[in-house]
Chains A and B, each alone.
Chain A
Amino acid sequence: MEETMFSFDILSSPGERDYNEDYTAIERHGDAYCFVLADGLGGHGGGDEASRIVCESICDDFSIRGAVNETYLSRCFELGQQVLLAQQARQGRGMEMKTTLAVLLADNSRIQWGHIGDSRIYYFQNKKLRQRTLDHSVPQMLVAAGRLKEKQIRGHADRNRLLRVMGVEWDEPQYEIAQPIARMGDEAFLLCSDGFWEWIQEKNMQHMLKKAGSPKEWLQEMELAVKKNGCGKHMDNYTGIAVFL
C-alpha cells in the first residue's frame, strides 16, 4: 500500500466570546492518524478544561497504541470519559466540566469515526456530501420524531439543549460510532463544533469543497461564510478540522 497521503488543516476561534472552550488535536501513530475535536460546555464552568483534558488524553493514548478499528475508537471515548470524571472528582466539580466530542481515525485502508453531543463530522465522497453525524440534541430528536424539519435545527430555541455529553456518568455508552468505510482516496471530512455549522449550510460547504485545492483553502472559504453570517450575534467559539484523504 502506498503511504498515507493525507492533508489536513485546523481552524479555531473564540468567535465573539471571551474564551475559546473548543479544543482540537491531531495525533499520529505509524500509518494511523487521529483527529479529535471537543466543544467544552459553557455555562457550567470548566468547559475549556474538559475539552482539553479529553483531547489530550485520547491523543496521548493514540500515540502509543492507536489503531483504526471500532474497539479502539470506543476506547477513546471510554478513556476520555474516565479521565474527565476522575478530574471532576478530584476537583469536586461534578456539576461542571462537560464537553462534546468528535473523533475521526484513519489509516491507509480504513476510516472510522464517532461522536457525542452536537459537534459534527461531515463525510464527503468525491466532493459530494454523503452523510453527517446526527446531533444528540433536543431539536435533532424532534426531527427524528417527525415534529421538526431538519432545516429548522439551526436557530431553534432548544438548539443548545444537549442530551448526551462527556462528563456525565453513563450506565451504558452514550457515544455513537458510525459505520466505518474503506478508504478509496477520494474522501474529505469536516469535523466542526456547533459554533461553526450553525452559520453555514451544507450545500455551501460542498460548493466550497469543489473549489478548494486544499483543506486550508476550504476552511478559509467556509470561515468567511461563518463570520459573515454569525457576526454580531454573540457567536459561539467555532472550530473546524478539514481532512482530505
Chain B
Amino acid sequence: MTRCMGCMAQMADDERICRYCGYQKGTDVKEAYYLLPGTVLKKKYLIGRVLGYGGFGVTYIGWDHVLQRRVAVKEYLPSDFATRSYGSMRVTVFSGEAAQQFQAGLESFLFEARRLAKFNSVQETVDIYDCFEENGSGYIVMEYLDGVTVKEVLRKRKRISVDQARAIALAVLRGLTAVHKEGIIHRDIAPDNIFLTKTSKVKILDFGAARYATAVQSKSLSVILKPGFAPEEQYRSHGVQGPWTDIYALGATLYCMITGKRPQESIQRLADDHLKPPSELGIPIDPNIENAIMNSLNVRQEYRIQDAESYYRALRGKEDVERIIEKKDQKLSLQLPLWMKCAAAAACVLVCICIGLFATGNLGFSKKEITSADGMAALSGTQRYVPNVSGMSYEQAQKLLGEKNLNLVISGMNYSESIEKNKILSQQPRDGAVAEAEETIRVIMSGGREEIMMPDLSGMTREEAEQLVIRQNLILNADGISEEYSDVVQKGRVITQSVPAEERIAVQTEIKLSISLGSLSEETALLEVPNLTGMTKEKAIRQLGKFKEQYGFTYSLGEVKNKYSTKVEKGRIISQSPKAGETARTNEPISLVISKGPEMVQIPELLYLTKDQAVEKLQKAGLTAGVVTDYSEQAAAGLVIRQDIETGEKAAKGSRVTITVSLGKAPVQGSTGNRPSGGTGTGGNQPSGGTGNRPSGGSTGSGGQPSTGGSTGAGGQPSTGGTGSSGTGTGGSTGSGGQSSSGGAGAGGGSDGNKAIMPDGGSFVVE
C-alpha cells in the first residue's frame, strides 16, 4: 500500500492513477526547487504534491505518519535568497547579504508560527501542529483544508449576496479581533486569503505574508501588495500600519464580494477618489451595512473604523451606522470622531483562523529575542503601535519614538551593504506591533560596509596574489590584471597594485594589479650581486636600475618574504639571497626578506559589541583588552560604547585597548526600584564608599543588595563583585573605596580606572 501524492489517499501498489483525485503516480515536480514527492521530513511527514507557492515559500500536501492524518506543510523558501537543486533536500542559500536576509526571514517565519499557535485551542482555528528546522530551512505543519478560496468563488459566480458576504466577513472579524489583541496584523486580507471549507467554515490564510519589499532594489509594489485591497499606508515605507490596515482590506474584500468589482486603488483614491458605494452600482443593500463598509474603506486611517470589534458590531446590522465622510485637507493630528470607541475587548468566542505563514526577508538582522511586553491586556488607550524606524539615525528615531512615548536602546551592531553606517538596521519589536507606553524599542545599528586592510601584494606571484585577494573578500577581475615588462621584478610577480598596502577599504572592492613579464632582453651576464640590505624596496629597485645603467644588465627581484623585526626598520631589507658580493647570473632573481617592523595590528571595530565579543575580537587581533564601565543613555548594558584607540588605527601587537562598557541608563538618584533581591536583604540601601552614580567599590554585602547607582534594568546588575544576588556574600566590604574581600572575584572600586565591576556580576580585570 502506498499513498497518493496528490491527495494522500491509500493506493494499491500497482495502481497508476488515483481513483479519488486522478493524480498519476510518478508525476514529476513542476519546478526544480520543489521537494520531490515521497520525501519524508522529521522522520514522520510524508511530502506530496505542491498545493501552492508564493514569493516566500511552498506549501505541500503531507501525511503525518504518526498521527495518521493529512496535513499541509509549509516550507520557507524565499526565491530572492535561496533555491534548491532538483532532487536534493537541502536548500541552497545565496551568498552575501542574501544569507543574512534568509536567516532573518527564517527566524521571523518560525517565530510567527509559534506566536500564532496560541490560537490552536479555539475550536474553529486551523491548527498549527508542528514547526521545525530541517534541510537548512524551516517548516510549519498545519491542518489540511478542503475547500475553496473566496477568490475562486468570485471567479465562478462573479458576486455573492450581501448576506452571504456579510457572514463571511463577520467570521473573519471574529478571527481578527483575537489576533489583533496579540499584536499581530495580517496585512494581506483579500479574497485569495479567505478560505471556505467544505464544512462551511471560514478560515483566514497567510498571516504576516505581506511586509515590505524584500530585496533592497525591489521595485514593483504590485507584487507585494494587492491593488484595491491594500490601504494607502501600505504603499508608503513610513506609513503606519495597524489593525485599521486589516479593516480596510476586509472592507475592500466585502466590496468586491458584493459588487464583483475591486475597489479603486487606495493610493489613487488619495489623489482622486471616485469609489462608488454599492447602492450606486445597483446592489440592494441595507444602508447601515453600506455605511459600515464605506466607513471601513475611508482612505485615511483616522477616518476608518479602527478595530475589528467595532466593525463586527456595525456589520451585524442591529445598530444604526452613520456614514463618516472624510474631510479634505485635514492635518493628521485630529481628534478621533465621537463614534469611534477604543474597545475594551472581551475574550473572543469563535476564532476561525487558518494560519499560513510566510516571512519576508525584511531588513532585519536582529538575532535577538523579542523582549517587549507580551500583553494579554486588551487594546486600550495606553497602547500604541510601533512605527518603522529602520534607516533612520539614532536621533531621528529617538524623536519619532519619543512622540509616541517609547524608548530607544541600541542593542547591537551588524555590517550592511545597504544601510549606511550609523543608521538603524533593524528593530525589535517590529513596526506595527502593539507596545505599552514607555516600552523600549531595541535597534541594531548598521556598521556600514565591512572594511579590511589592503594587503601588500607586491612581489607575490600571480596565484598567490589572487588567492590572497579572494581570502580577504576583495575582487580581482581578469581584466583588472595587466602585464608589463620589467627588468627589476621577476617574471610572474606583481609589480604594482591599485590600492596601496595597509589602506582601509570596503570588502568586495575591485583591485587591479600589474604583473611582470620579466625582462625584454634575453641576454645575461655573470656579475657580482649588489648589496641591497638596509634599503627600502623602492630604493633597491632604483639601485638595481642604476646597476643596469652601469653594467648594462641587472638582477630582478624575486620572492619577497616579510618578517617582523624589532631590529630592522619597517620596509627595509633584512637579508637577500644570493648575498651581496656573490657571483650570479643576471637573470637569477634576488629574493628578499623585508622587515615588517615590530608586529602591528589594526584596531578592530568594537562599538556596540558585547563585552565578550569585543574582548574576543581584540584577542584575535593580537591585542589585549582593558575594561572600564560607564553609564550610557543610548546603549544597553553590556555593550561597548568607547574604545581608547580608534578603529582603523594601528598599534603594536600586544598593545592594550581599553574599552568602556555600558551599564545602561543612569538611574535617577535615590531610586529604589529594580533592585535584584538577594537573600535576606536588610532592606533599604546602605551605600558606602562611593556615592552618586558610580558603582562603588564594596557594598554592604549581606543580602547582596547593590549600592546605589549600581543596578539598572531587569536581570539585575549587582555592583558587588561576584556574589551579586545570591545573598551569601560574606564579602562586601565596608566600602572604603577599596576592596571587597571575598565572595568571589570582588574587584576594586570604580575609582580605579582599570579595575571595574561588571554588570554581569563578575568583575573583570584583564591583562
Contact = CB atoms under 8 A, between A and B. Distances in A.
Contacts of A96: 79
- Between B30, B219, B238, the greatest number of chain A beta carbons within 10 A of the residue's beta carbon is seen for B219
A43 B270 contact: no
A159 to B, nearest CB: 9
Nearest to A98: B220
B336 interface: no
Contacts of A168: 220, 222-223
Interface string A35-55: 000000111110000000000
Given A92-B30, A138-B235, A158-B237, A43 B219 contact: yes
A82 to B, nearest CB: 17
B221 A138 contact: yes
Contacts of B268: 141, 163
Contacts of B237: 157-158, 161
Contact of B80 (A43, A145, A147): A43
A147 B269 CA distance: 13
A146 B227 CA distance: 21
A165 interface: yes
Contact of B236 (A41, A98, A138): A138
A198 B597 CA distance: 50
A95 B54 contact: yes
Contact of B270 (A95, A145, A158, A167): A145
B267 A163 contact: yes
A79 interface: no
A84 to B, nearest CB: 13
Contacts of B270: 141-142, 144-145, 147
B218 A92 contact: no
Interface string B165-179: 000000000000000
A144 B232 CA distance: 14
Contact of B238 (A45, A157, A162): A157
A147 B391 CA distance: 22
Interface in B34-57: 54-55
Interface in A125-181: 138, 141-142, 144-147, 157-158, 160-165, 167-168, 171
Contacts of A42: 215, 217-219
Nearest to A140: B271
B461 interface: no
A160 B212 CA distance: 12
B523 interface: no
Nearest to B265: A163
B319 interface: no
Given A138-B267, A145-B270, A163-B227, A92 B31 contact: yes
B222 A165 contact: yes
A12 B534 CA distance: 54
A238 B495 CA distance: 36
Contacts of B79: 45, 95-96
A141 B271 contact: yes
Contacts of B329: 146
Contacts of A161: 213, 219, 221, 235, 237
- Between A92, A147, A161, the greatest number of chain B beta carbons within 10 A of the residue's beta carbon is seen for A161
A131 to B, nearest CB: 18
Contacts of A167: 220
B272 interface: yes
B344 interface: no
Nearest to B32: A92
Contact of B217 (A95, A158, A160, A165): A160
Contacts of B55: 95
Contact of A144 (B220, B222, B272): B272
Interface of B is mostly: loop
B153 to A, nearest CB: 17
B717 interface: no
Nearest to B221: A161
Contacts of A164: 222
A157 to B, nearest CB: 5
A140 B272 CA distance: 13
A43 B219 CA distance: 7
Interface of A is mostly: loop
Contacts of B221: 138, 161-163
A165 B235 contact: no
Interface string B138-179: 000000000000000000000000000000000000000000
B98 to A, nearest CB: 11
A164 B268 CA distance: 12
B610 interface: no
Given A158-B235, A161-B213, A41 B220 contact: yes
B472 to A, nearest CB: 20
Contacts of A43: 80, 213-219
Nearest to A171: B262
Given A138-B267, A144-B271, A162 B222 contact: yes
Contacts of B262: 171
B219 A162 contact: yes
A168 B270 CA distance: 22
A194 to B, nearest CB: 9
A168 B223 CA distance: 8
A20 to B, nearest CB: 14
B223 to A, nearest CB: 6
Contacts of B267: 138, 141, 163
- Between B215, B217, B329, the greatest number of chain A beta carbons within 10 A of the residue's beta carbon is seen for B217
A9 to B, nearest CB: 27
Contacts of A141: 235, 267-268, 270-271
B9 to A, nearest CB: 27
Nearest to A21: B217
A160 B214 CA distance: 13
Contacts of A95: 54-55, 79, 223
Nearest to B31: A92
Contacts of B218: 41-44, 160
A33 B221 CA distance: 33
A85 to B, nearest CB: 13
Interface in B697-755: none
A192 to B, nearest CB: 16
A165 B222 CA distance: 8
Nearest to A41: B219
Interface string B200-239: 0000000000000111111111110001000000011110
A245 B214 CA distance: 43
B223 A44 contact: yes
Interface in A183-200: none
Nearest to B391: A157
Interface in B252-276: 262, 265, 267-268, 270-272
A163 B226 CA distance: 10
Nearest to A45: B79
A224 B364 CA distance: 37
Nearest to B328: A146
Interface string A87-119: 000001001101000000000000000000000
B185 to A, nearest CB: 20
A43 B214 CA distance: 8
Interface in B491-533: none
Contacts of B54: 95
B236 A158 contact: yes
- Between B222, B227, B235, the greatest number of chain A beta carbons within 10 A of the residue's beta carbon is seen for B222
Contacts of B227: 163
Interface in A222-236: none
B641 to A, nearest CB: 30
15 contacts: A41-B220, A43-B216, A92-B31, A95-B223, A96-B79, A142-B236, A145-B271, A157-B237, A157-B238, A160-B218, A160-B219, A161-B219, A163-B227, A163-B265, A165-B220
Given A95-B55, A138-B267, 6 more contacts: A141-B271, A144-B271, A160-B218, A160-B219, A162-B220, A165-B220
Interface of A: 41-45, 92, 95-96, 98, 138, 141-142, 144-147, 157-158, 160-165, 167-168, 171
**A-B interface, 4 closest residue pairs, ranked by CB to CB distance from nearest:** A43-B218, A144-B271, A43-B215, A43-B217
